[in-house]
Amino acid sequence: MTITAAAKKRRPKYLSLPAILFEIRLPLPALVSILHRISGLLLVLPMTAWLLYLLDASLASPEGFEEVRGQYLRQPLVKLGLIVFAWAFFHHLCAGIRFLLLDLDKGIQLPAARATSVAVLAVSLLLTAVFAVALW
Amino acid sequence: MVSRIITGAHYGLRDWLAQRITAAIMAAYSVILAIVLLTGQPMSYPVWRDLFAQGWMRVATLLFAVSLAWHAWVGMRDILMDYVKPTAARLGLEILTLLLLAVYLGWTVQILWR
């Protein structure tokens, strides 16, 4: 059998953004992986800058502490931001623990890898929910 | 067997290991901080100030900040290598990342030892 040049697949294949977002359904471990990247990026910028700003203001003086705690952190938009931070933090932590276990060859079979992926997604959302309830 | 004797070449093992060690340090700090905050006295300015006035807390927080900078550098570099193909743009973003992380580190030191 001969393969003509036209019949050969062109590699590498670049996917359009709509295809990535709407056509391809990611396997659960891949979803955990890309969310690990997105949450990591969010934690670097803007979350670390924001939390350092809050730490700075709250430690500077009693007035600063009261302003942060009594006024700033009571605003709904700020609380929403803290909940986004909490999700990014918990997801990054849970997925990170999973990756450490994978490095140690724990849970690398497909059924186990799927189960731990579900666990990471569920536990991080649950912890975020607990945080949100405590905050509000 | 392939023997690669290339002076100065490394294959990312050090970065890989550093990312994991710093991750463990940050996870331990986070758990300890959560326990301290949840089991301590009701939060007020004196409690908050005294917590960060203690020597061990300052050192631990600095260790956390250094770990974060190193960990984030490895992670950001991975992301930039994967998604930003033009060399000039990638280099520019890498420099911005390093500057940002250096600012975070300096800011943390300033907050802890003012």
Taking the CA of residue A45 and the nearest CA in chain B, the distance in Å comes to 9
Span B57-78, pLDDT tens digits: 999 999 999 999 999 999 999 9
Q: Does A20 touch chain B (CB under 8 A)?
A: no
Q: Assign residue B66 the CATH number of its domain.
A: 1.20.1300.10
pLDDT of residue A25: 84
- Cis ω on the peptide bond leading into residue A18 (within 30° of 0)? no
Region B36-61: mean pLDDT is 94
DSSP B41: S
Q: What confidence tier does A53 reach under pLDDT thresholds 50, 70, 90?
A: very high
Q: Assign residue A48 the CATH number of its domain.
A: 1.20.1300.10
- Give dist(CA A90, CA A84) in Å, integer: 10
pLDDT of residue A24: 83
pLDDT of residue B39: 93
Q: CB–CB of A48 and B104 under 8 A?
A: yes
Q: How many CB atoms lie within 10 A of CB A51?
A: 14
The residue in chain A having the minimum alpha-carbon distance to the alpha carbon of residue B103 is A49
pLDDT of residue B73: 97
Question: Residue B3 domain-assigned?
Answer: no
pLDDT of residue B28: 97
Please say if the pLDDT value at position A37 is more than 60: yes
Question: Residue A67 domain-assigned?
Answer: yes
Question: Residue A6 domain-assigned?
Answer: no
Number of domains in chain A: 1
Question: Residue A56 domain-assigned?
Answer: yes
Please say if the pLDDT value at position B1 is more than 70: no
Q: CB–CB of A56 and B49 under 8 A?
A: no
Q: What domain range is B69 assigned to?
A: 13-112
Residues A56 and A89 sit within 8 Å (Cβ to Cβ): no
pTM over 0.95: no
Count contacts between A and B (CB, < 8 Å). 52
pLDDT of residue B56: 95
Q: Output phi, psi for A7, to 5 deg.
A: -80, -20
Number of domains in chain B: 1
Please say if the pLDDT value at position B37 is more than 90: yes
Q: Does A26 touch chain B (CB under 8 A)?
A: no
Highest mean pLDDT among A87-91, B42-46, B81-85: A87-91
Query: Pick from A45, A96, A100: which is nearest to B100 by CB?
Result: A45
**Quick one: which of B10, B69, B31, B56 has its CA closest to A127?**
B31
Taking contacts as CB-CB distances below 8 angstroms, the residues of chain B near A66 are 45
Residues B40 and B47 sit within 8 Å (Cβ to Cβ): yes
The ipTM of this complex is 0.89
Q: Show which of residues 39-68 on chain A sit within 8 Å of chain B, judged by CB atoms.
A: 40-41, 43-45, 48-49, 52, 55-56, 58-60, 62, 65-66
